[in-house]
Amino acid sequence: MKTIRFGIIGCGLMGREFASAAARWMHLLDMQANPKIVAVSDVNPKAMEWFDAPFSTTDYRELLARDEIDAVYVAVPHNLHQEIYTATIQAGKHLFAEKPFGIDRAAALAIQNTITANPEVLVRCSSEFPFFPGAQRVVQMVESDAFGKILEVRAGFCHSSDMDPTKPINWKRQVATCGEYGCMGDLGLHVLHLPLRFGFKPTNVRAFLSKIVDQRPDGKGGMAPCETWDNAILACESSAGFPMILETKRISPGDTDSWYINIYGTKNSVEFSTKNPKTLRTMPFTQGEPQSWREESLGYTTAYPTITGHIFEFGFSDAILQMWASFVDEVAGNDPKFRCATPAEALASHDLFTAALESHRTAQVVIVP
Ligand SMILES: NC(=O)c1ccc[n+]([C@@H]2O[C@H](COP(=O)([O-])OP(=O)(O)OC[C@H]3O[C@@H](n4cnc5c(N)ncnc54)[C@H](O)[C@@H]3O)[C@@H](O)[C@H]2O)c1
């Protein structure tokens, strides 16, 4: 077993998810490599205590200077992506980077240029939902050309964590730290990962962006403005000619955290949502036969095999573990069973979000470069 020694920069929500996945690596079967967290960095010393790592520092540059670190996971606010991602790559460390991979398109391009100048470093971007068994079945259906002529793709990521207007403001609701994209930057790569992997690139977009809650408690007794977009609906034409409706929503009544992809075709159609993670809906079309949707009860059939019996349930932390298995496998020099989102896919998502901002501003259809 090869050990990949990791540093974590950003010990918040997602930093902990990785540490948890690394701690239950024994859940995976037949892995040729495992991660070991040897250092953490956060500007908030309290955030690092939970990790109990051999080395900790409030200055991420001290972490990057350490020879024993092979790879780094960076999970920090979006305004810091460009600076810390480029520093990590220039330090010669493999990088697992959180989305949106730069606060805006210029930042994403600067990160991409640094990757091009350092081809020995492996860089992948976080997007865990395509590792759900239902999403993997959609991948298999696309690979086996199951749909005939594709009529339409609908994909989205909708949650309701901002439904409560008394929820205090945080960095994700402010342009300086989250970026002008708002909900698109937060949720959009999750939505685009599979369509882009399938070669369904948006070529133009008409965007409808909404700001719903315009101020929130600032935690000091006052109110602060919410500057970022809460919800986005993007009506796109794909490079394959069919329409794609992509949505990212922070205020979606009834959705705690629903990622979905639906593909409709002349021979077969599929609907999968993490809202009903055990259910894959398909509708094969046979001339003269009734058009009826089939519901298949999915089990725990994963890209990377695990100890869990195949009839059991799969959830968010399982998807995180699968995504990390793919990255660690690739860092170890193997061809991953399903590849994590790539920098090229992240950059393509920026192309779309930048065009979407212009489309909303001008109320026009905008070409995606
Ligand atoms: N893949 C997913 O499902 C998913 C879910 C949520 C967030 N994210 C992404 O993860 C990233 C982090 O989001 P989060 O929810 O974990 O945020 P968070 O606020 O919970 O954590 C961010 C951490 O970064 C630290 N930090 C800030 N500046 C720093 C610096 N200069 N050096 C080191 N640490 C610093 C903060 O103190 C904080 O502990 C974002 O890019 C976000 O979009 C991904």
Co-location of 98 and 190 in the same domain: no
Which stretches of 144-178 are DSSP H helices?
Answer: 175-178
User: Is the domain of 104 the same as that of 146?
Assistant: no
Over residues 81-103, the mean pLDDT reads: 98
CATH code: domain of residue 221: 3.30.360.10
Do residues 232 and 291 both lie within one domain?
yes
CATH number assigned to the domain comprising residue 37: 3.40.50.720
Q: Is residue 221 part of a domain?
A: yes
Specify if 183 maps to a domain: yes
| Residue-wise pLDDT tens digits, 244-293 | 999 999 999 999 999 999 999 999 999 999 999 999 999 999 999 999 99
Residues 213-252: pLDDT tens digits?
A: 999 999 899 999 999 999 999 999 999 999 999 999 999 9
Does the bond joining 284 to the residue before it have cis omega, within 30 degrees of 0? Answer: no
Domain-embedded: residue 329: no
User: Among residues of the chain, what percentage have pLDDT more than 90?
Assistant: 98
Site residues for ligand 1, CB cut-off 6 Å: 9-14, 41-44, 47, 60, 75-78, 80, 98-99, 126, 128, 186
The model's pLDDT over 26-36, given as tens digits with 9 standing for 90+, comes to 999 999 999 99
Co-location of 133 and 220 in the same domain: yes
pLDDT at residue 161 in the model: 87
In this prediction, residue 12 has a pLDDT band, given cuts at 50, 70 and 90, of very high
Instruction: Read off the tokens for 355.
Output: 């065009």
What span, in angstroms and rounded, lies between the C-alpha atoms of 223 and 50?
A: 31
Torsion angles phi and psi, residue 17, rounded to 5: -60, -40
**Ligand 1 centre and the CA of 11: distance in Å?**
7
Answer with the one of 74, 104, 125 that is the final residue of a domain.
125
Q: Let me know whether 88 and 114 are in one domain.
A: yes
Q: Which of 90, 125, 160 is the last residue of a domain?
A: 125
Ligand 1 centroid to residue 203 C-alpha, Å: 31
Mean pLDDT of 179-203: 98
> 171 alpha carbon to ligand 1 midpoint, in Å?
10
Residue that terminates a domain, selected from 71, 101, 125: 125
Our measurement of the distance from residue 53's CA atom to the centroid of its chain's CA atoms, rounded to an integer in Å, reads 26
CA distances from 260 to 95, 190, 289 (A): 27, 10, 28
**Residue to mutate, 76, 95, 259, 350, ligand 1, most ligand atoms under 8 Å from C-beta:** 76
Domain annotation covers residue 327: no
Report the mean per-residue pLDDT for the chain.
97
Q: Are 245 and 235 in contact (CB under 8 A)?
A: yes
58 and 207 belong to one structural domain: no
pLDDT at 184 over 90: yes
Whether residue 325 is contained in a domain is answered as no
Q: Which range of residues forms the domain containing residue 20?
A: 2-125
What average pLDDT does this structure show over 65-91? 98
Q: Are residues 51 and 199 in the same domain?
A: no
Residue 219 lies in a domain: yes
Q: What angle is formed at CA 29 by the lines to CA 23 and CA 34, rounded to 5 degrees?
A: 45
Task: Give residue 136's pLDDT.
Answer: 98
How many domains does the chain contain in total?
2
Distance, CA of 200 to CA of 348 (rounded, Å): 11
Could you tell which of 60, 98, 177, 324 is best to mutate to test the pocket of ligand 1, judged by most ligand atoms within 8 Å of the CB? Answer: 98
CA distance 107 to 322: 28
Are residues 180 and 253 both part of a single domain? yes
Domain-located, residue 330: no
- Taking CA atoms only, the protein residue closest to ligand 1 atom 31 is 43
Query: What mean pLDDT comes out for the span 312-330?
Result: 98
Are 97 and 172 in a shared domain? Answer: no
265 occurs within a structural domain: yes
pLDDT in the model for residue 81: 98
Say if residue 48 is in the same domain as residue 13: yes
Say yes or no: 152 and 201 in one domain.
yes
Residue 281 has a pLDDT of 98
Q: What are phi and psi of 55, to 5 degrees?
A: -135, 135
Same domain, 141 and 95: no
